[in-house]
Structure 1
Amino acid sequence: MTDLTPPSKASGAGPVDEFYTGSQIGFEPKPGDILRQRSIELTGLDGAGRAWQLVYASRGGFSAPIPASGTVIAPANGEGTGVRPLVVYCPVFHGLGGRCAPSQLLAAGVEPEAVFIGAALARGWTVAIPDGLGLGMTGLGPHQFLAGRAAAHAVLDLARATRLLPEAGAADAPIVVWGYANGGRAAVWAAEHQPQYAPELDLRGVAAGAVVADLAALVRRVDGGAWAGLALAGLVGLGRAYAHLPVGHVLTADGQQTVGAAAELDALDLLGTYRDLPLARWCERPDPWNDPMWRYVLATETCARETPNVPVHLYHGTEDTLIPVGMGRQLFAEYRALGVDLSWREYPTGHRGAAQAGAGEAIARLASYLLRRPTGRSAPQTT
C-alpha cells in the first residue's frame, strides 16, 4: 500500500539552498516565466531521464506575483519520439513547511508518490510536479494549503514554464493534469480556471481522485479527531492565502503561537502533534469555521464554481474515512449539471487504497484524452 505522507526524515532544518531563496517578485515576469533552473539527477526514480528543478513566476489566488518551484522530468524512453505529452502531477498534501516540498523529496529519492510519477514516465510522457505556492521557496510560507485558485495557478504556470524549457521539448505539448486528494483538488481547480487564466495551454483532460471539494464538510469531519492536524493546517494555509482579510481574529494569543509553530511542520508532524485536538482549543469561539469571515472563505473555496472545458475523470474509495465518497459523488453531480464531459469510478477500499487502485485507469483515461482534438481557446489570458 502506498504511503501518502512524506517520510519524517525529509523534514527538519538543513543547509539553506540558495536556489530556493527569494522574495515576492515584481510585475515584470509573466506567469510561467522561468526565474531559475538547474539540472538534477534522479537515478532512483524508475523511468526518469533528464530532470530539472525550476523556480518560476506565478500568481497568488488574488493575483499578487509570487515565485514558485517545481520539478520537470523527461522520460528515459522518450528520445527521438517527437513532441511528448506533458502531465502535470499534483501531489497530495506534504506539509506546511520544512524540507517536505516534492522537489526536495524527489531529489533525495524519498518522494512517496514516486510510483505514480514513474507510471506516467513509463508512458513516455514528460512529468511536471509543482511544489505549490508557499512550499519549497524560502521565506514565502506557509504553504497555501487548500487554497484552490492558488493551487490552480501553481499547476498552470508550471505547465507554462515547462513549455519554455527548451531541454524538455514541450513547447507544443498537449497537457493533462492528474492528482489525488488535495492534489485532485488542485487538478480540478486547474481545469476550472484554465479557460480564463491560461487559455493558450493545450489542456486535454484531468484525472482526479478523492477530491477535497467541500472544505466546510471536511473540516467538520476531521476537527478534533485522528486527522485534526489537517484542520489546523487548513486554517493556516487558507489564512495565508486570504491574508488580506481579517481571518486571524478568531485566534487567541496561544492560537497565534500555535499557528506559527504549525507553519513550519510537515504532514507527519502535523498529524502527530495535533491529533485529537480541536481547533476550539486555540480560538476565541468553539466553532471558528462558523465565524462569518471563515464562512465566506469556505464558500469561496468550493469546487464547481467554474466549468471545465475538458473531460474530467473522477475516482474515489467507498471506504474512505478521510474524504467521504459522498463528497466525490456530489462533485460528479455538480459537474454533470454543468455539462462537463465526465467519467466516474468507485473502488471498494479506503483513502490510501483508492490512490493505488485508481492509478491504472487514471493513466488510461489521460492517454485517451491526449488523443482528442484540442479544445477551443476563446478567453483572454490573465496576467
Structure 2
Amino acid sequence: MTPIVLYCPSFHGLGGECAPSQQLVTGGESLDQIQAVLDRGWIVAVPDGENLGITGLGPHTFLAARAAAHVTLDLARAAQALSDSAHSRQSHAPIVLWGYGDGGRAAVWASEQHRDYSPDLDLRGVAAGAVISDPGALARSGHSGPWAALALAGLIGLSRAYHHLPLRHVLTEDGLRVAQQAETLSAAVLLDQYRQPLEHWCKDPHPWDDPVWRYVLDHESRSAAGVPEVPVHLYHGAADKVVPVESGSGLFSEYQRNGVGVSWCEYDANHFRTAVDSIPDVMEALAGFLQGPRAPR
C-alpha cells in the first residue's frame, strides 16, 4: 500500500483565506515539504485545522491541541479509506504524521490520542518541528515584541475552543473590539497590525494567571497529554525566536523519561530556515518509520 503522510503546516491565521486548502490554491502555502513527500511517491494530505476552510465557523481554534489532533486523525482516517478503496485490499495504508510549529503540536498530540481516538489507523511514527509544548509559557515569554500578535491569536483561538467558558472577560473594551477584528485575519496581517503586547488589550497585565485561563492552560499542558506508542522525531532551530528551542527540547526530555522511542535534531538556524533545512532529515526519519512495525492496538 502507498504510504500516507499527514502534513500539518504552521499557523497561517485565524480565518478568512487562511486555510491551507485555500493557501494551496492561491500559492500562499510553501510546497517544499509537500513536494518532498510527493517525490518519494507517497500520498500527502493536509488538514485545514478546526474552523478553517468552512465559511462561518471561525475563528480557528489556534493552539487547542485536542481539537487539532482530532482534525488530523479524522483526515488520516478519510485518506486511508480512500486509499484502501482505490487498492481494493484488506490491509490499511501505513500513515505517518509531520508538522511544524502549531502543526507540530497537532502532530504530536495526534500521536498521543491515536490509541484512544483512532486505533484503526496504521500509524507508524511522527516527525514534529518547533513544537509548542506549553502555550501558557509561550504566551508569557512572547506576549511582547515582534511576535506579540501570536499571544493575542492564542487567546482568541483557545477562547473559541473553550467557548463555554467566559475567557474573553480578561479583555478591555478595545481588546474585545480588536479580537473580533482579528478573527478573520491572516498571520501576516495580525503581526503587522497588532504589535502591542498582549497586556495592552487586557484589564490585567497577566491575563494567563486568571483562574479560568489557568484551568484551560492546564488542559492544554503536557500533564494533560498522553504518551505516543509510535516513534517520534523532534527537531528545532537553536536560534528560533518564535518558539524557543527549550519548548522542543523539553518535550524530547519528557518523552525520553516516559520510554518513547524519540530522536532529536537541532539546527543552527532560525524558525523559518529550520523548516526548510530539516526536510532531508525528516524524510529519512519518516522512511524509517514506514519500514517499522504497526503500533499496538
Q: TM-score, normalised by structure 1?
A: 0.74
Residues 91-170 of structure 1 mapped to structure 2, 5 A cutoff = 91-108=9-26, 110-165=27-82, 169=86
Measured in 1, the distance between the counterparts of 2:69 and 2:155 equals 19
The one of 86, 93, 98 aligned to 1:173: 93
The one of 201, 214, 234 aligned to 1:282: 201
1:302 maps to amino acid: S
- Alpha-carbon deviation of 1:166? 5.7
More divergent stretch after superposition (253-262 vs 145-154): 253-262
Residue of structure 2 in register with 1:34 after alignment: none
SS at structure 1 position matched to 2:145:
coil
- Alpha-carbon deviation of 1:101? 0.9
Measured in 2, the distance between the counterparts of 1:168 and 1:123 equals 21
CA deviation string 1:140-178 (max 9, x = no partner)? 100000000000011000011112336983772100000
The answer to whether 1:242 aligns with 2:162 is yes
Residue of structure 2 in register with 1:345 after alignment: 265
Greater strand share, structure number: 1
1:89 maps to amino acid: Y
Q: Assess, with a 3 A threshold, how the Cα gap between structure 1 residues 199 and 347 changes in structure 2: closer, same or farther.
A: same
Residue of structure 1 in register with 2:183 after alignment: 263
Is contact 2:19-2:48 (8 Å) kept? yes
CA-based RMSD of the aligned residues comes to: 1.4
2:13 maps to amino acid: G
Measured in 2, the distance between the counterparts of 1:291 and 1:331 equals 25
Q: Assess, with a 3 A threshold, how the Cα gap between structure 1 residues 211 and 168 changes in structure 2: closer, same or farther.
A: farther
Measured in 2, the distance between the counterparts of 1:249 and 1:291 equals 10
Measured in 1, the distance between the counterparts of 2:2 and 2:125 equals 16
1:88 maps to amino acid: L
The one of 200, 215, 224 aligned to 1:296: 215
1:352 maps to amino acid: F
Residues 220-231 of structure 1 mapped to structure 2, 5 A cutoff = 220-231=140-151
Q: Assess, with a 3 A threshold, how the Cα gap between structure 1 residues 205 and 322 changes in structure 2: closer, same or farther.
A: same
- Alpha-carbon deviation of 1:115? 1.0
Is contact 1:206-1:311 (8 Å) kept? yes
2:281 maps to amino acid: E
- Alpha-carbon deviation of 1:105? 1.5
- Alpha-carbon deviation of 1:252? 1.9
1:107 maps to amino acid: V
Is contact 2:149-2:198 (8 Å) kept? no
Greater helix share, structure number: 2
The answer to whether 1:188 aligns with 2:108 is yes
Is contact 1:189-1:303 (8 Å) kept? no
- Alpha-carbon deviation of 1:287? 1.0
Measured in 2, the distance between the counterparts of 1:125 and 1:253 equals 50
SS at structure 2 position matched to 1:298:
helix
1:160 maps to amino acid: R
SS at structure 2 position matched to 1:361:
helix
Is contact 1:133-1:150 (8 Å) kept? yes
Q: How many residues align?
A: 293
The answer to which structure, 1 or 2, has the higher relative contact order (CA under 8 A, 6+ apart) is: 2
Residue of structure 2 in register with 1:316 after alignment: 236
The answer to whether 1:272 aligns with 2:183 is no
Is contact 1:163-1:169 (8 Å) kept? no
- Alpha-carbon deviation of 1:319? 1.0
Structure 2: gaps spanning 5 or more residues: none
Q: Assess, with a 3 A threshold, how the Cα gap between structure 1 residues 193 and 375 changes in structure 2: closer, same or farther.
A: same
CA deviation string 1:218-273 (max 9, x = no partner)? 11121121001101000000000011112122122222111110001001000001
Residues 44-83 of structure 1 mapped to structure 2, 5 A cutoff = 83=1
SS at structure 2 position matched to 1:346:
strand
CA deviation string 1:257-304 (max 9, x = no partner)? 1111000100100000112x1222222211111111111211211236
